[in-house]
């Protein structure tokens, strides 16, 4: 599929990942702005069936990024909203796109769909071998239903819907709101504020023993674009970098990069989340030639620089 010849709807286009995907399509693939439909959430509530039908009209490709998403604290606070919002948006968008004759639907899932104790590295064939980690299971399962729907629609209607599983993302433009941010932006903000206030330590959730894999947002955008162009099969595909770091080591690294010399206090009463996360990225490399390019430390420095440059620590 040559994207520069297609009309493309991107839900969630004004969010963190969406803004980088739009940039990738324009700069790397020659997609013109007039080909892109980038609806805003305050104008088109995709939990409403009529809005879903409106946005898919006359589109060739739908890339569904829109989600209600956040870190562990946000998932614990709003499990019902996260389940309903993501389930209903995914189901309605896919059905509306099918009825409208959309050529291809790209569903963006989540690493949270994997079982809590998935063998590392996570392989796509292990998706159904257990229940997700409890704190984000409602979100993970809601997003996972798009895989079921995509495969069901392919089986019954011969419709081309694919499902991608990106790992935890980070990079410039991330969400640094402490109420809903993920681990890297949350820690960057904590360290910046502790340094500003000359605080002797920062407080971090959990034990620090959990591990995570991170994918730079620009690499994620490239992976999604490549899959949209080149992948047309029913099997889900991981998008990751193949690295793994403990949260404890991550905090130390961020503190060092930001020249913070205070201590770290771990609050073991708070959850760690899933014990380990690292993806097997073989399928993405084989099927559409995707491999992450950004070294983690380089990407982390860029993220910190962006945060500091935008004055979010004041």
Contacts of 87 (CB under 8 A, 6+ apart): 142, 145
| 149 compared with 274, residue with greater pLDDT | 149
Please state, in angstroms and rounded to a whole number, the distance separating the CA atoms of residues 302 and 82.
30
Strand partners, 132: 115
pLDDT in tens, 69-126: 988 889 999 999 999 999 999 999 999 999 999 999 999 999 999 999 999 999 999 9
pLDDT in tens, 203-260: 998 999 999 999 999 999 999 999 999 999 999 999 999 999 999 999 999 999 999 9
How much is the pLDDT for 192?
95
Give the relative orientation of helices 296-309 and 247-257 as an angle to the nearest 10 degrees: 50
Contacts of 84 (CB under 8 A, 6+ apart): 47, 142
How much is the pLDDT for 313?
53
Structural domains in the chain, CATH included, are 3-173+213-242+274-294 (3.40.50.720)
Is the distance from CB of 121 to CB of 176 less than 8 angstroms?
A: no
Is the distance from CB of 156 to CB of 46 less than 8 angstroms?
A: no
How much is the pLDDT for 274?
87
How much is the pLDDT for 42?
95
How much is the pLDDT for 311?
66
How much is the pLDDT for 247?
95
**Rg from Cα positions in the chain:** 19
Single out the residue of 238, 88, 241 nearest to residue 163, CA to CA: 238
312 has a pLDDT exceeding 70: no
Q: What is the pairing mode between strands 245-246 and 211-212? A: antiparallel
Single out the residue of 15, 17, 22, 16 nearest to residue 37, CA to CA: 22
Burial of residue 265 (CB within 10 Å: 0-12, 13-18, 19+) is exposed
Share of the chain above pLDDT 90, in %: 93
The 3-state DSSP class for residue 300 equals helix
Please state, in angstroms and rounded to a whole number, the distance separating the CA atoms of residues 259 and 225.
36
Q: Which helix (H) or strand (E) holds 275?
A: none
Tell me the C-alpha to C-alpha distance, in Å, between residue 80 and each of 45, 74, 143, 189, 222.
18, 11, 13, 27, 32
Is the distance from CB of 56 to CB of 93 less than 8 angstroms?
A: yes
Total residues found in the chain within this entry: 314
How much is the pLDDT for 57?
98
35 has a pLDDT exceeding 90: yes
pLDDT in tens, 145-192: 999 999 999 999 999 999 999 999 999 999 998 888 889 999 999 999
Residues with a known catalytic role:
139
Single out the residue of 65, 309, 297 nearest to residue 184, CA to CA: 297
Burial 250-264 (b: 16+ CB within 10 A, else e): bbebbbebbebeeeb
């Amino acid at each position: 599929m040559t994207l520069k010849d297609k009309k493309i709807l991107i839900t969630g286009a004004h969010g963190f990942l969406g803004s980088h995907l739009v940039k990738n399509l324009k700069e790397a693939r020659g997609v013109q702005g007039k080909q892109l439909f980038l609806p805003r959430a305050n104008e088109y509530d995709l939990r409403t069936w009529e809005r879903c039908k409106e946005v898919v009209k006359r589109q060739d490709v739908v890339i569904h990024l829109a989600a209600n998403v956040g870190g562990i604290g946000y998932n614990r606070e709003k499990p019902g909203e996260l389940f309903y919002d993501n389930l209903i948006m995914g189901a309605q968008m896919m059905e509306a796109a099918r009825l409208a004759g959309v050529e291809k639907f790209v569903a963006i899932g989540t690493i949270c769909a994997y079982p809590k104790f998935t063998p590392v590295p996570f392989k796509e064939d292990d998706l159904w071998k257990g229940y997700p980690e409890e704190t984000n299971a409602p979100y993970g399962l809601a997003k996972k239903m798009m895989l079921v729907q995509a495969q069901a629609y392919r089986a019954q209607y011969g419709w081309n819907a694919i499902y991608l599983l990106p790992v935890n993302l980070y990079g410039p433009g991330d969400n640094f709101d402490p109420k809903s941010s993920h681990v890297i932006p949350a820690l960057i903000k904590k360290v910046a504020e502790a340094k500003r206030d000359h605080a002797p330590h920062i407080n971090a959730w959990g034990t620090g023993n959990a591990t995570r894999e991170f994918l730079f947002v620009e690499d994620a955008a490239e992976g999604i674009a490549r899959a949209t162009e080149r992948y047309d099969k029913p099997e889900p595909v991981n998008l990751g970098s193949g690295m793994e770091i403990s949260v404890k080591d991550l905090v130390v690294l961020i503190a060092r990069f930001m020249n913070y010399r205070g201590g770290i206090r771990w609050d073991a009463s708070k959850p760690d989340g899933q014990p380990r996360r690292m993806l097997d990225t073989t399928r993405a490399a084989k099927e559409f030639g995707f491999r992450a390019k950004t070294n983690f430390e380089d990407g982390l420095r860029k993220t910190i620089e962006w945060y500091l440059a935008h004055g979010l620590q004041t």
